[in-house]
Copies of this chain bind each other. A is one copy, B any other.
Amino acid sequence: MARYGTVAIVGVGLIGGSIGLALRRRGLAEHVVGIGRRQSSLDKALAFETVDSVSLDLAEGVKGAEITVICTPVARIAQDVLTTAANCPTDALITDAGSIKGQIVDELAAATAQPECKGVKRLEKNEVHFIGSHPLAGGEKTGPQAAREDLFDGRVTIVTPTEANRSTETKRVSLFWQDLGSRVVCMSPEEHDAAVATVSHVPHVAASALAASTPKASLDLIGTGWLGTTRIAGGDVELWRQILTGNRQQVLSALAEYEAALAEFRTAIANENDEQLVELLQAGKDRRDAVGS
């Protein structure tokens, strides 16, 4: 008997598709339904066998789902959570795979001002449960065709309960990601957003600014160093706009730290302070060497 009944996946791209593949190939779910807004994406999801059935209608698609995973762009997640909460079975679990977490919590909190919203009511009454997640997995390729059963194997998934969540539901969400192969780390949405600002969002800004500030005339001379340092600058612009604006305060704070570190380098070089320059280079090397290749 499968561990889960019906699991709904909203957004059947790389992440959603990989969740579906992992669930289906490992026999973890009785049924996986893929929900999307374009028939062409759903057709691909079926063709790559990442889901068992598909639906263009979110409210309809989540009706029987004991777990729904929202894998849509961050700017849409809160809205999709509310629609799911209004239509999924009692005691169902809702989670997501968004790269930022505080904004979603804030948007859901703001929605409580609309008491007519059925999803808000059910979440408040603990009839259904939402706990945010962020699997640190992905890659340069996107879309259902890039989905992989082992995408989450050995990768960290951050689960971000709030004070509104009970530990039983936090445990259920954590077990779900563990079943997919992840190592789970729990922290608050705020802690999550501060941490990913430093390890993901500021690196993206650093790479993008570096690529943009390299004169065209110099591109003939680039080597593996420049290519590696700027690789992530090739990421999707709209995705990154949503992340950087959605996590504005934490990004600005981490960016200030980075700019201060660069200023220290500049000062050491300008003042011909070799001792300090060696210290700075060594600090960067030590931090980098600590984590392997």
Contacts and interface: CB of A to CB of B under 8 A. Distances in A.
Interface of A: 136-139, 155-156, 158, 185, 195-196, 198-200, 202-235, 237-238, 240-241, 244-245, 248, 251-252, 254-266, 269-270, 272, 274, 277-278, 280-285, 287-291, 293
A259 B258 CA distance: 10
Nearest to A230: B288
Contacts of A258: 209-210, 213, 262
B226 A244 contact: no
A interface majority secondary structure? helix
- Tallying the copies of this chain within the complex gives 2
A261 B213 contact: yes
Given A185-B221, A212-B261, A214-B198, A233 B284 contact: yes
Given A221-B158, A227-B291, A285 B234 contact: yes
The 4 lowest CB-CB distance pairs between A and B, nearest first, are A208-B284, A209-B261, A213-B261, A233-B288
Given A213-B257, A241-B277, A288-B233, A262 B224 contact: no
Contacts of A262: 205-206, 209, 255, 258-259, 262
B290 A219 contact: yes
